[in-house]
Amino acid sequence: MFSTGMFNRALIAGLFVACASSAAAQPAGDASLYRVFLRDGSTVLSFGEFARVADRIVVSLPVGQALQMLSLPADSVDWERTDAYAESVRANRYAATRGPDDLALLSGAVSRALSDISIVRDPNQKIAMALEARQNVMRWAAEHFGYEAGRVAQLASLFDDVIAEARTQAGVRNFELSMVANMAAPPSTPLLPPPSLRESVEQALGAAALAPEATERTSLLRAIQQVLRDAGPEDASWTAPLNTRVSASIATEERATRSYETLTTTTLKSVDQYARAADVTGVERVIRRALAEDDRLGQRRPQEMASLLAMLDTKLDATRRLRLARDNWAARAEATRKFTASMAEPMSLMRLSKSPLDEIRRLAGPPPARLKRLLARVAAATRLLAVMTVPAEGTNSHGLLKNAVQFATRAAEGRERAVMSGQMPQAWEAASAASGALMFLERAVEELAQLSKLPEMQAPR
């Protein structure tokens, strides 16, 4: 059966060949000029299709012989006029390139379809095939910018005759065809002529005023300035005043850039001082000053300010955390002092044990008499730690010292067994325990020292 399968396969295959040959025939860099119509009544030229990204529209703006990428706020665009004009540009370009070849392919496909239908005997099958073929022809018009709508309507009407005849054969009466009247029409928006050099420069200058990105704005202004400098003496009457205007705009942008760089540097320096002192009020005052300075500068760098304010918010949050930590430290200072004092004796006993523990670690002793004194010291430290009252902030240092004492006990007892048996494996086990005891003791000393220090601002990770 003919249906869409045979018709579409023939049409698509032909269109693929036409597209390839048309693309090969196009000169490199050939692109259409689109227009972006703004709500203020002005227009911006776009070399090739523009792109809409989130709340921005990105265009490739021709300035002299160069192209400048530029993003504009999407809400500044008159989308109804812009989309209508873009559709006309696409239709015009299609008509000038692939349109004739595609229409020829469509005509050939219609001829083959009519030939296939003519050999079918069943009237109902003829009607179904013709209806589907006619629908494909009308869809082709809608998908090809209404190109040669009158000619395509004539092609579709060929199937109307086939359908009418088949319905008569099938005994169907009072049939009306109305779908051809709904054939898609080509876009009606007229295309504007390419702008003159002066018009393109003036459009680019207007676009620069709307660009929210300072780097894009400055880059575009410099490109305009170069075009004006390269213009011939015959254009001096209009290039001179525009060059003065552009130079003033560039100077303004450069001053704004320096001002915001200074604002960022001084603000971050000030906020760091207040943050290290846990002065929340001072940080808040710095933020207010930065906002006031931005207002004074005319809010000319919204992105730079957004980045600065994000950093200031992070600093403010860190300062509040530091303020809370210091207040907590002050509130717990007395409990911490008592705990530190209670840790002094077992810590002293373990410091005295470092030398014999190091000897056990190196398998270098100690002599039996010193080993017994080591056992006595670690036993005394164990008793002291067992009865100690430990506040929440002292849990880590107490646990580390307790581990150090436990490993020291294992090291001393293991060394004693090794001495009595004369077995090296037992001596190595004792050495391993001594190494652990020394490690935990060092960490306990560091942790205990931190308890007496005022909390400091943590470096960002």
In the chain, the amino acid numbered 226 is Q
Mean pLDDT of all residues in 32-56: 91
Alpha-carbon distance values, 266 to 249, 250, 269 (Å): 26, 24, 5
Which tokens hold the place of 320? Answer: 């509040």
CA 61, chain centre distance (Å) = 24
Which tokens hold the place of 394? Answer: 């002292």
Which tokens hold the place of 155? Answer: 């092609």
Confidence class of residue 126 from pLDDT cuts 50, 70 and 90?
confident
- The per-residue pLDDT for range 217-242, each reduced to its tens digit, is 999 999 999 999 998 888 899 999 99
Lowest model confidence (mean pLDDT) among 27-31, 204-208, 263-267: 27-31
Q: Is the dihedral of CA 117, 120, 124, 129 positive or negative?
A: negative
pLDDT at 16 over 50: no
What pLDDT does 20 receive?
34
Confidence class of residue 26 from pLDDT cuts 50, 70 and 90?
very low
DSSP code of 314? H
Nearest to 210 by CA among 78, 306, 307, 74: 74
Lowest model confidence (mean pLDDT) among 13-17, 195-199, 390-394: 13-17
Around Cβ 27, how many Cβ atoms within 10 Å?
Answer: 5
What pLDDT does 336 receive?
87
Q: Quote the CA–CA distance of 308 and 265 in Å, as a whole number.
A: 10
Mean pLDDT of all residues in 86-110: 92
Mean pLDDT of all residues in 247-254: 94
Q: Taking a C-beta distance cutoff of 8 angstroms, is the pair 326, 278 a contact?
A: yes
What pLDDT does 460 receive?
60
Mean pLDDT of all residues in 134-143: 89
Which tokens hold the place of 371? Answer: 């080993």
What is the average pLDDT score of the chain? 87
- The per-residue pLDDT for range 343-364, each reduced to its tens digit, is 999 999 999 999 999 999 999 9
What pLDDT does 182 receive?
60
What pLDDT does 319 receive?
96
Q: Taking a C-beta distance cutoff of 8 angstroms, is the pair 74, 211 a contact?
A: no
173: left (phi over 0), alpha (psi -120 to 50) or beta: beta
User: CA Rg, the chain, in Å?
Assistant: 43
What is the share, in percent, of the chain residues with pLDDT greater than 70?
90
64: left (phi over 0), alpha (psi -120 to 50) or beta: left
Model's pTM, two decimal places? 0.62
Which tokens hold the place of 211? Answer: 């660009």
Around Cβ 431, how many Cβ atoms within 10 Å?
Answer: 20
pLDDT at 412 over 50: yes
Nearest to 204 by CA among 257, 251, 242: 242
Nearest to 382 by CA among 360, 404, 357: 404
Q: Quote the CA–CA distance of 366 and 355 in Å, as a whole number.
A: 9
Nearest to 311 by CA among 271, 261, 260: 271
Lowest model confidence (mean pLDDT) among 27-36, 166-175, 308-317: 27-36
Confidence class of residue 17 from pLDDT cuts 50, 70 and 90?
very low
Confidence class of residue 450 from pLDDT cuts 50, 70 and 90?
confident
Write down the residue that tokens 């704004």 correspond to. Answer: 256
**Where is 70: in which H helix or E strand?**
strand 66-73
pLDDT at 96 over 70: yes
Q: Quote the CA–CA distance of 110 and 92 in Å, as a whole number.
A: 24
Q: Quote the CA–CA distance of 290 and 276 in Å, as a whole number.
A: 19
pLDDT at 266 over 50: yes
Mean pLDDT of all residues in 204-222: 91
**Where is 63: in which H helix or E strand?**
strand 56-63
What pLDDT does 247 receive?
94
In the chain, the amino acid numbered 231 is A
Q: Does residue 366 have a cis bond before it (omega within 30 degrees)?
A: yes
pLDDT at 72 over 60: yes
- The per-residue pLDDT for range 267-293, each reduced to its tens digit, is 999 999 999 999 999 999 999 999 999
Give per-residue burial for 49-76: e unless 16+ CB within 10 Å, then b.
Answer: ebeeeeebbebbbbbbeebbebbbeeeb
Q: Quote the CA–CA distance of 326 and 332 in Å, as a whole number.
A: 10
What pLDDT does 150 receive?
87
365, with CB counted inside 10 A (0-12, 13-18, 19+), is: middle
Helices (DSSP H) in 119-235: which residue ranges? 123-143, 149-170, 197-210, 214-230
Write down the residue that tokens 């015009």 correspond to. Answer: 92
Q: What totals of helices (H) and strands (E) does the chain contain, helices first?
A: 15, 5
Give per-residue burial for 124-151: e unless 16+ CB within 10 Å, then b.
Answer: eebbbbbbbbbebbbebbeebbbbbbee
What pLDDT does 64 receive?
83
- The per-residue pLDDT for range 169-203, each reduced to its tens digit, is 877 664 555 444 466 778 888 999 988 999 999 99
Reported residue count of the chain is 461
